[in-house]
Amino acid sequence: MTYEETSAKQRTERFAMSHLSIEVGHLYAEGLSRPDVLKEEMASAAAWVHGTTEALTKRLGGRTPRVSTCYLVDDYFHQDLPEPERLIAVIAEAAADAGLRIDYLARESACADMGSLDLAALVADRIVFEPSPGTNGSRPPVARSGWLCNGVPSPEPKRIAMGAAEQWSPPSQNSRREHSVFLDVELWNDTGRGRRWSCPMLAAVWQLVRLGVLRDQGRRIGVPEPVENVVPAEHGHDPDRPAGARFPETWAAMPPILQLNAKAFPFPAYRSVSVLSVDFLEVEHAVRVICGAVRPDPGAIDSIRRSAEREGMTLPDELVDRLSYIFQGRI
């Protein structure tokens, strides 16, 4: 009798990829109170999109690159957002004024739960923490503590009565360059209402979805829904409801990822760039620590690598090295 692992029979779904996914913004609730700031950020993002696309064209030897743009709305930590119809109109207007197109719009809450799939938990289960030499096992594993670090923290001093105080030793970063930049990241906390995922954890899921490396038993995760397929729920005769509304009244009823542009290049891409406010720098540092510890589906990684090679592209072995950022402050 021959025994085989289930994974050996699992078929990895393949799909079209863009060369580059550009995130042109990440909207927090407070951003809506400053439409002028939103328009400034869109105008700056538009310049980066045009410049990045031109640079990529040169790298591809003059071939037209497949570049898709996306925008993330924070409906996880801020559930009091204006209804989708109004908010999408605000974002679309700011983008149009800047001469920018937004191909895809995603909900941050979908990075926690995408339909019936507990997506953040799926990613958390793929985190592999490799203890550095010299660790003594006193720190609980990530799966129990909900904390992930990029090295070895300072050890807790032993408290011995009448004993000499232990000498302090600093934390140490794995793969450091001369000096350490140690970071300890909270992935979640458990509350009376269930598990609450952290912003860096959800942002890490978002980046991995954009890179197309996540699978559910070999199947693709995060297929965008074309805007023409979205049907608003019955809303009666609400006088505050915009005439000809196309979207549901709540964000929870919206698709996880909405395709706004019918002619857009594919949502997943070989590489990603995020054009963000400098306020996100600390969060994205944490995102890189998380993504560096995730071991995605090997079939997905191999499929994407071979697809890129057929196009004459070589992808970095480390997944985190496929992420790039442009942090901008107000000038």
Q: What pLDDT is recorded for position 36?
A: 78
Predicted confidence (pLDDT) per residue in 60-98, tens digit: 998 999 999 999 999 999 878 888 998 899 899 999 999
Q: Is pLDDT above 80 for 55?
A: yes
Q: Is pLDDT above 90 for 254?
A: yes
Indicate the pLDDT class of residue 180, thresholds 50, 70 and 90: confident
Residue 239 lies in a domain: no
Q: Is 37 exposed, middle or buried (0-12, 13-18, 19+ CB in 10 A)?
A: middle
Q: What pLDDT is recorded for position 238?
A: 57
Residue 184 lies in a domain: no
Q: Is pLDDT above 50 for 6?
A: no
Q: What pLDDT is recorded for position 1?
A: 41
Domain that holds residue 58: 12-109+205-234+244-278+299-328
Q: What pLDDT is recorded for position 18?
A: 97
Residue 136 lies in a domain: no
Say how many CA atoms lie within 13 Å of 21 toward its Cβ.
25
| CA atoms of 128 and 293, how far apart (whole Å) | 5
Indicate the pLDDT class of residue 126, thresholds 50, 70 and 90: very high
pTM for the full predicted model: 0.88
Residue 223 lies in a domain: yes
Predicted confidence (pLDDT) per residue in 135-171, tens digit: 556 678 898 999 999 888 877 666 665 666 667 777 8
Comparing CA positions, the residue from 53, 36, 206, 39 lying closest to residue 120 is 206
Most confident of 167-176, 235-244, 315-324: 315-324
Q: What pLDDT is recorded for position 210?
A: 98
Name the residue type at position 301: I
Q: What pLDDT is recorded for position 12?
A: 85
Q: What pLDDT is recorded for position 179?
A: 86
Residue 162 lies in a domain: no
Domains of the chain: total: 1
Q: Is pLDDT above 60 for 240?
A: no
Predicted confidence (pLDDT) per residue in 29-51, tens digit: 555 656 777 888 899 999 999 99
CB distance 102 to 22 below 8 Å: no
| CA atoms of 324 and 320, how far apart (whole Å) | 9
Q: Is pLDDT above 60 for 115?
A: yes
Q: Is 245 exposed, middle or buried (0-12, 13-18, 19+ CB in 10 A)?
A: middle
Indicate the pLDDT class of residue 289, thresholds 50, 70 and 90: very high
Comparing CA positions, the residue from 71, 53, 30 lying closest to residue 206 is 71
| CA atoms of 249 and 82, how far apart (whole Å) | 9
Comparing CA positions, the residue from 53, 50, 44 lying closest to residue 98 is 44
Q: What pLDDT is recorded for position 7?
A: 47
**How large is the average pLDDT for residues 10-22?**
91
Q: What pLDDT is recorded for position 4?
A: 41
Residue 158 lies in a domain: no
Residue 329 or residue 161, greater confidence: 329
| CA atoms of 85 and 101, how far apart (whole Å) | 18
Indicate the pLDDT class of residue 244, thresholds 50, 70 and 90: low
Q: What pLDDT is recorded for position 98?
A: 94
Residue 189 lies in a domain: no
CB distance 114 to 222 below 8 Å: yes
Q: Is the dihedral of CA 275, 279, 283, 289 positive or negative?
A: positive
Q: What pLDDT is recorded for position 177?
A: 77
Residue 85 lies in a domain: yes
Comparing CA positions, the residue from 35, 20, 21 lying closest to residue 72 is 21
